[in-house]
Each structure stands twice: as C-alpha cells, then as structure tokens.
C-alpha cells in the first residue's frame, strides 16, 4: 500500500487576502490558487467549526508569504456511497463542510483535502505576553532564550475523521525536511517586511538586518495549543518556559522550539 504525500503550495502572494470568508459557492477567483482554498477548507472545518475560533481572523498577513502543505484523500465521486480513502488504505467519512467545498470545485470528486500545515519564514512579530488573552493584558513580556531568526509552523489541522492516521506527523516531518533542504528560500528578501505589523518600523528593520546578516540556521518555533503540546514534544520540540502561557481565541498556547540540521552545512 502506498503512503499519502503532502502537496506543496509555495507562497501564494497577496491575492489570498481577498479570499471570501466563508468561501463562496460561486466560481473561484482565478488569481487565488485552488490549493489555498483547499487548505482553507480544512482549517475552517477544524478551527472554526470545531474549535469556534473567529472566521474573520483565519486568513492573516502570514498566509501570502508562507509555504503550505495539503494532504488529500482519494474520492470515487461526489455521489458515491464509498467513503473517501487515503492512498495508504485507510478510509473514513469526510467532514461535510470540506466535502461540499471539494465537490463545488471538482465535479468528479477526485480528491478531498483532509490535512494541512503552513511554514512561515522570518521575520516575525514579538511573542504574546505571558498571561495575555488575544494580545491584551498579561505580565511584562519575558524574553525568549532564542534571539536568532526562526521559521514558524502553524495552522496544523486534520479533519476529525482522518485523525489517528499520522497525518499531522507526516506534515510536520515533511515541512521540516523541506526546510532543511531549502534554507536559502527561507531567507528574507530585500525590502520584505510582511508579517511584522505588530513591531515598530525600526524594530522590523533591525530584525530584517539580523536575518540578512545571520541567516536562518535551522531554528523552528510552534505556538502550540496546550492540548497538543505532547504531540510536538514527541516530534522533538521543547517548551520554552520563559514564554509562559497565553490565550488565543479562547485556547491556551505555549511556545516550543526545535532545531533542524540544514543540508550542506
């Protein structure tokens, strides 16, 4: 039996910021990559439908500049009574929202997006203050023990019916292995400052200079929901106690780090 392979979507650019929320049933905007819409369908099913996060905040300034991975399940057709199957032989009933979205875009129902992850390159804004709630309040922000440029994994989501199949681990491993092979692609380009809106302009310029001077050396961060902290620990990430805990969208988070070895260094 074959193994599912995530599909990579390179940074899709600013057109994704105009993606309708919720996704429209009308003809999709040709300037927005279909793969982004498919990744978004998984994110909405998990973060909005299940976890009740804000739909308005689901697409953010990091989406245009991130690398996105999507795992698909094969589907025999939109009217078939057979459950969608992963290429490794597992099968399950698809999430209704994601299934409907897939069928609207693909009459033949060839494949269904079931899991996704994004990787955000440097630079990044400041970490949330310990004890803060949606960026408000909290104690004086404690400095991280890491000051070098880092990439950030986020928006890891798997449809409920496809959990327990190792798709989250597959996505994290795939993203980290890709990053280790493509460190040059993760270096900040001249004039790039997206995703640092929370920082002052001078701080952003200073961080840009740091990235250009030092380059990315393999440091990776996740802002993990505490409910999946053990999952990331099993993937080699270590909780940064100095970052404390904070609440986003009603869910408690922690910061966790891991370093990967870059190929050719």
- If pLDDT is split at 50, 70 and 90, which confidence band does 85 have? low
Sign for the CA dihedral angle at 239, 244, 247, 248 comes to negative
pLDDT tens-place string over residues 110-147: 789 999 999 999 999 888 999 999 888 887 655 555 57
What is the reported pLDDT for 187?
Answer: 81
pLDDT at 151 exceeding the cut of 50:
yes
Euclidean distance between CA atoms 235 and 256, whole angstroms: 11
Mean pLDDT, to the nearest integer, of 185-199?
53
What is the reported pLDDT for 3?
Answer: 59
pLDDT tens-place string over residues 160-186: 999 999 999 999 999 999 999 999 999
- If pLDDT is split at 50, 70 and 90, which confidence band does 27 have? low
Kindly give the residue spans of alpha helices, DSSP state H, lying in the chain: 34-43, 96-105, 167-181, 201-214, 229-234
* CA 138 to each of CA 135, 142, 145: distance values in angstroms, whole numbers, following the listed order: 8, 11, 19
What is the reported pLDDT for 81?
Answer: 42
Which residues, 6 or more positions from 198, have their beta carbon under 8 angstroms from its beta carbon? 125, 126
- Give the pTM: 0.80
Q: Rg for the chain (alpha carbons), in Å?
A: 19
- If pLDDT is split at 50, 70 and 90, which confidence band does 265 have? low
- Other beta carbons less than 10 A from residue 134's beta carbon: 13
Give the distance, in angstroms, between the CA of residue 170 and the centroid of all CA atoms in the same chain.
Answer: 13
Q: Which residue has the tokens 């099993």?
A: 234
Q: Which of 47, 84, 14 is nearest to 248 (CA)?
A: 47
What is the reported pLDDT for 215?
Answer: 85
């Amino acid at each position: 039996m074959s193994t599912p392979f995530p599909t990579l979507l390179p940074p899709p650019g600013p057109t994704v910021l105009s993606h309708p929320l919720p996704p429209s049933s009308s003809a999709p905007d040709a300037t927005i990559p279909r793969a982004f819409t498919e990744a978004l369908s998984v994110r909405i099913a998990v973060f909005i439908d299940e976890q009740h996060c804000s739909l308005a905040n689901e697409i953010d300034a990091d989406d245009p500049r991130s690398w996105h991975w999507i795992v698909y399940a094969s589907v025999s057709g939109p009217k078939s009574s057979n459950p969608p199957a992963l290429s490794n032989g597992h099968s399950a009933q698809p999430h209704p929202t994601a299934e409907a979205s897939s069928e609207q875009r693909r009459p033949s129902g060839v494949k269904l997006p079931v899991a996704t992850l994004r990787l955000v390159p440097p630079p990044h804004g400041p970490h949330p203050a310990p004890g803060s709630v949606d960026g408000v309040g909290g104690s004086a922000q404690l400095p991280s023990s890491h000051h070098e440029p880092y990439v950030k994994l986020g928006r890891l989501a798997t449809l409920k019916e496809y959990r327990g199949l190792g798709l989250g681990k597959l996505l994290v491993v795939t993203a980290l292995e890709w990053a280790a092979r493509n460190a040059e692609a993760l270096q900040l380009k001249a004039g790039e400052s997206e995703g640092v809106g929370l920082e002052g302009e001078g701080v952003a310029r200073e961080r840009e200079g740091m990235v250009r001077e030092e380059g990315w050396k393999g440091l990776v961060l996740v802002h993990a929901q505490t409910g999946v902290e053990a999952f990331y620990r099993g993937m080699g990430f270590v909780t940064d106690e100095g970052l404390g805990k904070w609440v986003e969208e009603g869910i408690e988070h922690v910061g966790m780090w891991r370093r990967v070895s870059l190929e050719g260094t």
